Amino acid sequence: MRIFIFGNINSGKSTLLDVLKIRYPQYSILRIDDFRRKYGKGDIESDLYAQEMFVQAVLEHENALVESTGLGPLGQRLKEAFHGLLGVILYVDTPIYLCLERIDPEKFKNTPYPVFSETLENTAHSGESCHLFRTKVATS
């Protein structure tokens, strides 16, 4: 089962993922920023390629912890790719002031973000948050 961890930039998604990977050590870890570091060059074209590689990796790994904001162009691609498939969405809802306080310039300088990438303000005011897409939840 795929577990999607969505939320604003600096909301605590990685912290939650770190807790979940202890519970699910056999799950693949898929973070969009890892794909941006591998494939991105800071331009739109390479970021779109990184996003495509990310979506393909998520499709290839049935048991995965998937970290992304869940919004913007990538969120739309995930919505289209996983329509009707099994999964769980966890949305980390953190106040914008706290996300801003957590900004670490050292962290961001190592990831090539293009100009159109999600910003704190865009993700905080999108209104879509955890209602990005409906997916079936596996129950056992």
Q: Is 53 helix (H, G, I), strand (E, B) or coil?
A: helix
| pLDDT at site 115 | 59
Residue ranges per domain, the chain? 2-131
Residue 90: helix, strand or coil by DSSP? strand
Q: From residue 79, how far is each of 15, 28, 94 by CA, in Å? A: 24, 20, 22
Per the prediction, the chain carries an average pLDDT of: 83
Please state whether 20 falls in left (phi above 0), alpha (psi between -120 and 50) or beta: alpha
Q: Which class is 2-131 in CATH?
A: alpha beta
| Cβ proximity of 3 and 23 under 8 Å | no
pTM of the model: 0.77
- Per-residue model confidence as pLDDT tens digits over 23-76: 999 999 999 999 999 999 888 999 999 999 999 999 999 999 999 998 888 999
- Is residue 23 within 8 A of residue 83, CB to CB? The reply is no
